Structure formats: C-alpha cells, structure tokens
Amino acid sequence: MKKIIVVFIMLFSLNVTANSAETVLGKVNGLVCMECQLKLSRSLTDVAGVKATIQVAWPEGVALVASKDSVNITEDEFASIVENNGFELQKITKVDQYISSPSDGLKILKSIN
C-alpha cells in the first residue's frame, strides 16, 4: 500500500511540474500611445484567450502573454500578431515563469542578448 501511495505522489508531482507557468515576452517598437497598446492587447487576446494574462505597455515598449499553466500562443504566433498590427518586434523570448508586470518583462528582455 505504501508503494502505491509513493508512486501516486511521484506521478502527481510530475504532472504539476509539466504544467508550469510560462510567459512569452516581446520588445516592441512602434508602440507610441494608448490606442496602440489597446490594439495589440486585443489581437493577442484573440489568439491567447481570456484565461491568459495579456499586458502591453507602450511606455516600456513591452508586450507579454503569461499563464500559470502553459501559454496558448507560440513565439511565431506572437511575432506574427505584432507585425500584422504594424509594429516591429525587436526581441522575443519565452520563460518558464509567470510574469505579469511589463517592467519585470523589460528587465528579462534586457538581460538576454
């Protein structure tokens, strides 16, 4: 009986690890106003869904899609949405953590080459 419980706990912990948080972050050129921010936010939400956290901040020039599970958007989809809305994607990355603050996202983007 103890072996069954140990195996069950191990399987459960593997499942929790597999569903870890993710964030796709992008440094976006061309975000100059609230209208730009709203336009890109809506387009990202259309693809990523309402369960994801979508943040677009024009002062920082950062867009992010975060989820406490895996995100519903690939880096290629993210890049395509940014470019199809008339903006330039300068940098993109995916991290295995939940980032909901554009300023925190900017720090991560600045730390990668």
In a domain, 2, yes or no: no
pLDDT at 11: 47
pLDDT digits 0-9 by tens, 10-24 = 544 444 445 589 999
98 in a structural domain = yes
- Number of separate domains in the chain: 1
Strands 62-67, 53-57: parallel, antiparallel or unpaired by DSSP?
antiparallel
In a domain, 6, yes or no: no
Q: Enumerate residue ranges in the chain where pLDDT < 70.
A: 1-19
Whether residue 67 contacts residue 51, with contact meaning beta carbons closer than 8 Å, is answered with yes
Residue 46 lies inside a defined structural domain of this protein? yes
Q: Looking at the whole model, is its pTM more than 0.85?
A: no
Cα 24 to Cα 78: distance, rounded to the nearest angstrom? 8
Residue 105 lies in a domain: yes
Domain that residue 35 falls in: 20-111
Phi, psi of 99 (to 5 degrees): -115, 120
Whether residue 99 lies inside any domain: the answer is yes
Our CA dihedral for 39, 100, 91, 111, rounded to 10 degrees, sits at 160
Any idea what the CATH number is for the domain that residue 40 is in? 3.30.70.100
